[in-house]
Amino acid sequence: MTLRNANVDEFILRARKLEKSAFWQWQNQLPIHADVEAIAAGNWLAYKGLREEDLESFCLTLRLLIQNRDGLSIQRISQFVATWPEEQQAHKAAIRTAVDSLNERLDRRCMVSIHKAGTTRREFFEVLFYGGLVHSDPGKRASYAALVTAGPFSGLVFSAFWAILCDFRNCIQTMAHHVAKAVIAGGEG
């Protein structure tokens, strides 16, 4: 049984692209300084050194790793890994734990609520991601626009979204690490 295929190789390359992205490099340069006046005026991305195109680029790469269509999504890769032989059990378990942890975190209540009944972090993410950042879903556009132009509140919106991006990135990096280790250990690297 092979431990790799073209989708696994592409997943690892895209995970590396996220890690090296300008957005991720920006967020690693702490402390992050907000332009409070610009945020209050409706610019949800008014942070020193943050460029909107860097966030969008990060999100477009992330989209490839979360949508199932191209075969290199978190779900598709974890399904492929589940077919690996038992000698890869440690890597399989680490990947399953990363995916389960991501899903558990996405299903938690978000600190920013869109609905009166509360909003999960997954729902919140989807409104921002598909309502304006990487798509323009007609059912999500108005909520997206309201969130990102909500004056001082939009700073909280960005913080909540950024935390979710970190969750996705951490899951993807853990998966890529264990996939690469398994491929090398299995003599396929």
Q: How many domains does the chain have?
A: 1
Q: Tell me, what's the pLDDT at 189?
A: 61
Give the domain range for residue 31: 6-185
In a domain, residue 154? The reply is yes
| pLDDT-based confidence at residue 4 (cuts at 50, 70, 90) | confident
Q: Is 92 a residue whose pLDDT tops 70?
A: yes
Q: Tell me, what's the pLDDT at 2?
A: 83
Radius of gyration, CA atoms only, the chain = 18
In a domain, residue 1? The reply is no
Q: Is the separation of the CB atoms in 72 and 11 below 8 Å?
A: yes
In a domain, residue 30? The reply is yes
In a domain, residue 51? The reply is yes
Residue written as token pair 């006046």: 37
Separation CA 143–CA 18 (nearest Å): 27
Q: Is 176 a residue whose pLDDT tops 80?
A: yes
Q: Is 101 a residue whose pLDDT tops 70?
A: yes
Q: Enter the pTM of the model.
A: 0.94
Separation CA 115–CA 124 (nearest Å): 10
49-81 pLDDT tens trace: 999 999 999 999 999 999 999 999 999 999 999
